[in-house]
């Protein structure tokens, strides 16, 4: 309920529609700019690669280490931050080649945020062997659908190139084209969140008859919906403007890079569902799991990687559902046709009777006649039945046509019944896969389902071959409380790969004793003489869980050093010695788990 204050202000507390604004905001850019200045000033640009139509990654040799700077002009996920995922492979693009020509080997001399806008300006002195080069500015505009990455000549402010071209058909106010003079987007008159004092703050809000989160955004620069809602949520109702000012001071303290607390909120019901990223603890969000990060770049990198995975899950789910629905509809149409054919086949006896009645009444049929009425001596009441004729052929030929229909229908009835049974069985299979699709939560689950569809010929595998290195994961990977990495094969091929490509002689190998199941490897890169028992027990439990005996109360699991395991002919077959045995209950203890992709395999 709104409350009136002595100053006549109505303050609305956002008790509904709470949540993160997933867009990149000015306060985040403010914090990142400080980090960029610490690590990139004086750094040298080594390589530039365009990942897709709106994303560029720049490799920079900084003061202490090599950094990968991620720049995105995506319409909904525009952002800039360091990334730990360098681009894979090489993609040719005009924009990246243009940037390489002008910026590679250049030195970064200045990085600044333009006011409190979501605009980052990186000034580079290009590398020139003889003469001094003209400084260039790489300007990253992070403004939703208007996001862009623009290369500008610093002295003349002439646009050299941009990742998106904006002509007069797209905007009447601001052109972004090579040769045009670069102009900043229109600036908004708002209060500086760092410089504003209490008097200015209260005066600005005294003129507002109604204060809600949108009002705060419109008055204070650098405030996004989430921060505005957080200010109101912490303020509560029944408070004066002085309290609103006090809460605002609490919030803006996190704008200091040394005070920021980068974190990602995760849905506890679904660990793969990230709710949003923030620079401070949000009291407005309840019942969420919070994952803290040392830097905002790490938080953003994690968040958007999870968002990309979620989008891939949604895309795969939609595709597979379309495949099942399309096939289900096609089979239903086929069943309608088959049941119609069966109905015709059930008329086989009628065809025979009409043929025989027509043969018995040939003397009554006139040439060109289309129908004849004949007494049905197979009927106890001796009713007359109509017999349709083809006027183009003789009466005897008409009779032969009825006999042919009879023979065809008689032969086809058993075939049609079998086809109907086969298609009804496939409907049952499709219903089973529909249930499986609904219960599939992870990308691995969906890709496994897609693989089954490909094997059945329900879906093309061209896309899978094209994206295999990017979308498929290989082993399950766990981290024990003792810090050991545990790898678990998913199938025979992966078990074989674990032994041939991953396991070293000092690693520990585990397998359910004389039971089909996954190979499990405990990595031991430090070559320790023994593996701690808690880690051994957890690895043994994993070997039991991913075996044919997973429903048993206790499962014997053999373990030995990988150097005592010898690969035999055939996928998944091994011979091992010096083993010991643990009897464990099949279960997965609380361990950190993530997928291990092929890049991880090669690096190991």
First-to-last alpha carbon distance for the chain, in angstroms, is 60
Element at 80 (helix H, strand E): strand 79-82
Q: In this predicted model, what pLDDT tens digit does every residue of 411-437 receive, in sequence order?
A: 777 677 777 877 887 888 888 889 889
User: Is the per-residue pLDDT at 532 higher than 80?
Assistant: yes
Q: Name the one residue in this structure whose structure tokens are 């809602």.
A: 229
Please check whether residue 402 is in contact with residue 390, taking contact to mean a CB–CB distance below 8 angstroms. no
Element at 602 (helix H, strand E): helix 598-603
Phi, psi angle pair for 139, to nearest 5°:
-110, 120
User: Is the per-residue pLDDT at 601 higher than 70?
Assistant: no
Helix/strand/coil percentages in the chain, nearest 5? 40, 20, 40
Q: How far apart are CA 443 and CA 271, in angstroms?
A: 13
Model pLDDT, residue 581: 95
Q: How far apart are CA 406 and CA 415, in angstroms?
A: 15
Mean per-residue pLDDT over the chain, rounded = 84
Q: What's the number of CA atoms in the CB half-sphere (13 Å) around residue 14? A: 23
Domain boundaries, the chain: 10-17+190-298, 41-162, 346-435, 474-603
Mean pLDDT score, 293-308: 92
Architecture of domain 41-162: Roll (2.30)
Encode 180-212: b = buried (16+ Cβ within 10 Å), e = exposed: bebeeeeeeebbebeebeeeebbebbeebeebb
Q: Which band of pLDDT confidence, cut at 50, 70 and 90, is reported for residue 570? A: low
Please check whether residue 294 is in contact with residue 80, taking contact to mean a CB–CB distance below 8 angstroms. no
Its pTM stands at: 0.61
Rounded alpha-carbon distances, angstroms, from residue 132 to 106, 127, 178, 336, 440: 11, 8, 23, 79, 59
Q: In this predicted model, what pLDDT tens digit does every residue of 183-200 receive, in sequence order?
A: 998 878 899 999 999 999
Model pLDDT, residue 90: 59
User: Is the per-residue pLDDT at 9 higher than 60?
Assistant: no
Q: How far apart are CA 221 and CA 188, in angstroms?
A: 8
- 480: CB partners within 8 A, 6+ apart: 486, 522, 532, 534, 535, 538, 539, 591
CB atoms within 10 A of CB 236: 12
Q: Which band of pLDDT confidence, cut at 50, 70 and 90, is reported for residue 343? A: confident
Rg (CA), the chain: 36
Phi, psi angle pair for 268, to nearest 5°:
-65, -20
Q: In this predicted model, what pLDDT tens digit does every residue of 457-511 receive, in sequence order?
A: 888 765 445 444 444 445 788 888 887 888 898 888 778 878 876 788 889 999 9
Of residues 355, 348, 344, 341, the one with CA closest to residue 401 = 355
Model pLDDT, residue 14: 47
């Amino acid at each position: 309920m709104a409350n009136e204050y002595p100053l006549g202000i109505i303050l609305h507390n956002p008790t509904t529609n709470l949540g993160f604004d997933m867009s990149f905001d000015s306060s985040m850019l403010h914090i990142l700019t400080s980090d960029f200045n610490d690590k990139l000033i004086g750094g040298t640009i080594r390589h530039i690669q365009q990942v897709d139509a709106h994303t560029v990654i720049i490799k920079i040799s900084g003061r202490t280490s090599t950094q990968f700077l991620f720049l995105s002009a995506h319409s909904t996920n525009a952002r800039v931050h360091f990334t730990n995922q360098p681009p894979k492979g090489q993609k040719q693009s005009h924009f990246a080649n243009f940037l390489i020509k002008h910026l590679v080997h250049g030195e970064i001399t200045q990085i600044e945020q333009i006011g409190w806008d979501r605009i980052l300006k990186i000034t580079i002195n290009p590398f020139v062997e003889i003469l001094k080069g003209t400084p260039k500015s790489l300007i990253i505009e992070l403004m939703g659908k208007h996001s862009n990455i623009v290369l500008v000549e610093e002295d003349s402010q002439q646009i050299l190139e941009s990742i998106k071209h904006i002509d007069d058909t797209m905007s009447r106010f601001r052109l972004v084209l090579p040769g045009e003079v670069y102009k900043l987007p229109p600036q908004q008159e708002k209060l500086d969140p760092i410089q504003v004092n209490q008097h200015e703050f209260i005066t600005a809000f005294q003129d507002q008859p109604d204060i809600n989160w949108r009002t705060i955004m419109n008055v204070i620069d650098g405030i996004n919906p989430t921060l505005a809602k957080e200010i109101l949520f912490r303020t509560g109702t029944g408070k004066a403007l002085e309290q609103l000012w006090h809460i605002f001071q609490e919030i803006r303290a996190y704008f200091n890079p040394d005070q920021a607390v980068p974190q990602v909120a995760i849905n506890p019901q679904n660990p793969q569902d990230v709710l949003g990223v923030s620079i401070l603890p949000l009291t407005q969000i309840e019942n969420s799991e919070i994952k803290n990060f040392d830097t905002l770049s790490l938080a953003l990198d994690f968040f958007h990687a999870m968002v990309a995975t979620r989008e891939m899950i949604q895309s795969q789910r939609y595709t597979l559902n379309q495949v099942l629905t399309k096939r289900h509809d096609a089979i239903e149409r086929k069943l309608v046709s088959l049941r119609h054919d069966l109905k015709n086949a059930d008329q086989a006896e009628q065809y025979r009777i009409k043929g025989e009645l027509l043969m018995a009444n040939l003397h009554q049929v006139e040439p060109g006649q289309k129908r004849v009425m004949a007494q049905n001596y197979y009927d106890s009441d001796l009713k007359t039945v109509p017999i349709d004729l083809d006027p183009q052929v003789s009466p005897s030929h008409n009779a032969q046509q009825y006999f042919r229909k009879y023979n065809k229908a008689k032969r086809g009835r058993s075939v049609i019944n079998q086809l109907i049974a086969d298609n009804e069985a496939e409907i049952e299979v499709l219903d089973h896969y529909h249930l499986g699709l609904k219960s599939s939560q992870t990308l691995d689950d969906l890709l496994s389902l897609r693989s089954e569809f490909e094997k059945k010929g329900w879906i093309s595998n061209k896309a899978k071959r094209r994206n295999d290195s990017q979308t498929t994961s290989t082993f399950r990977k766990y981290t024990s409380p003792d810090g050991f990495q545990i790898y678990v094969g998913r199938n025979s091929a992966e078990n074989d790969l674990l032994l041939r490509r991953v396991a070293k002689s000092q690693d520990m190998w585990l397998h359910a004793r004389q039971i089909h199941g996954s190979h499990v490897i405990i990595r031991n890169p430090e070559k320790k003489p023994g593996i701690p028992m808690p880690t051994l027990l957890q690895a043994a439990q994993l070997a039991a869980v991913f075996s044919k005996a997973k429903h048993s109360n206790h499962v014997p699991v053999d373990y030995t050093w990988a150097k005592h395991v010898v690969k035999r002919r055939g996928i998944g077959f091994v011979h091992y010695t010096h083993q010991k045995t643990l009897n464990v209950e099949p279960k997965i203890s609380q361990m950190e788990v993530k997928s291990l992709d092929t890049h991880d395999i090669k690096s190991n």
